[in-house]
Amino acid sequence: MTPNKVIFVTPMFNSEEYLPELVSSIISQKNQNWEHVIVDDMSNDKSYEKALELTKKDSRFKVIKSNEKKYPIRITIEESKKYQDENVIIAMIDSDDALMNNNTVDIILNHYSDEELDTAWTAHYWDVHGMNISGDLYPDEDPYEVDWTTSHLKTFRSSIVKNLSNKNFKDDQGKWFKSASDQVVYLPLLYISRKRKFISDICYLYRVNLKGATNTNTHNQQSTVNFIRKRGFIK
């Protein structure tokens, strides 16, 4: 069954200054078969109010204010599991990033006309030096055991999320991981995919935001990545 809609999912925290560019990049899509779910994760700036203001004239946007701190991984999985529809493709986009190709929705839907394709990711562009770390992942490779090349824009068929245990997104104490969301969310999806694909079109602007970066954050992210890769997929 050929998908007919892309659902963008954006966990949001203190991204007020970046939201105009993000929202504009979604509205500018030539293919208008999309919806965008933005979940404010208890921001302490005006992100929620700004998101409401920017999207109030377009019903395809849904802005949600969380009443508890969930972090991006939990938000992404919980929102994705609301669909589980072969006609819907989920696309993960961070609140401080944006699309940089007005044909992104078209590109995604065209590739997912392949009914066996479950996951696909695009090339991207780093704002500071144009770097792109996305690349191919070959069919026989275990995504947990190879270098991370499946970066932005990460997309997946919404129906495959129902096959995933939430244990893949939690530590051994049953608590949701708080960091390394790209790999925590996408590695198990890649693992169960019938078919996965790298799309060479540059569709995503990745903003290297160093303002909130700390040695502790970097250490926590790397520790989480090392842990999930060593543990592998959980059925």
**Domain range summary for the chain, segments of one domain joined by +:** 5-231
**String of b and e for 24-53 (b: at least 16 CB within 10 Å)?**
ebbbebebeebbbbbbbbbbeeebbebbee
Task: At 55, give phi and psi (nearest 5°).
Answer: -115, 0
Phi-psi domain of 224 (left: phi exceeds 0; alpha: psi -120 through 50; beta: other): alpha
Q: Assess whether pLDDT exceeds 60 at residue 224.
A: yes
Residue 159: CB atoms within 10 A of its CB come to 18
Q: Provide the whole-model pTM.
A: 0.94
> What are 171-200's pLDDT values in tens digits?
999 999 999 999 999 999 999 999 999 999
| 214 CB-contact burial (10 Å; exposed 0-12 / middle 13-18 / buried 19+) | exposed
Task: At 124, give phi and psi (nearest 5°).
Answer: -140, -175
Rounded-to-integer distance, Cα 228 and Cα 184, Å? 7
Better-scored residue on pLDDT, 181 or 85: 181
Beta carbons of 145 and 132 less than 8 angstroms apart? no
Rounded-to-integer distance, Cα 117 and Cα 106, Å? 16
Rounded-to-integer distance, Cα 14 and Cα 47, Å? 6
Q: HSE-up of 226 (CA within 13 Å, CB side)? A: 6
Q: Which CATH class is domain 5-231?
A: alpha beta
Q: Would you call 91 helix, strand, or coil by DSSP?
A: strand
pLDDT grade for 128, boundaries at 50, 70 and 90: confident
pLDDT grade for 124, boundaries at 50, 70 and 90: very high
Tokens of 59: 């019903």
Q: Assess whether pLDDT exceeds 60 at residue 215.
A: no
**Lowest-confidence region among 8-12, 29-33, 84-88, 199-203:** 84-88
Closest alpha carbon to 25 in 119, 94, 83: 94
pLDDT at residue 226 in the model: 96
pLDDT at residue 211 in the model: 56
pLDDT grade for 210, boundaries at 50, 70 and 90: low
pLDDT grade for 86, boundaries at 50, 70 and 90: confident
What number of H helices and E strands is found in the chain?
6, 8
> What are 130-178's pLDDT values in tens digits?
899 999 998 889 999 999 999 999 999 999 998 899 999 999 999 999 9
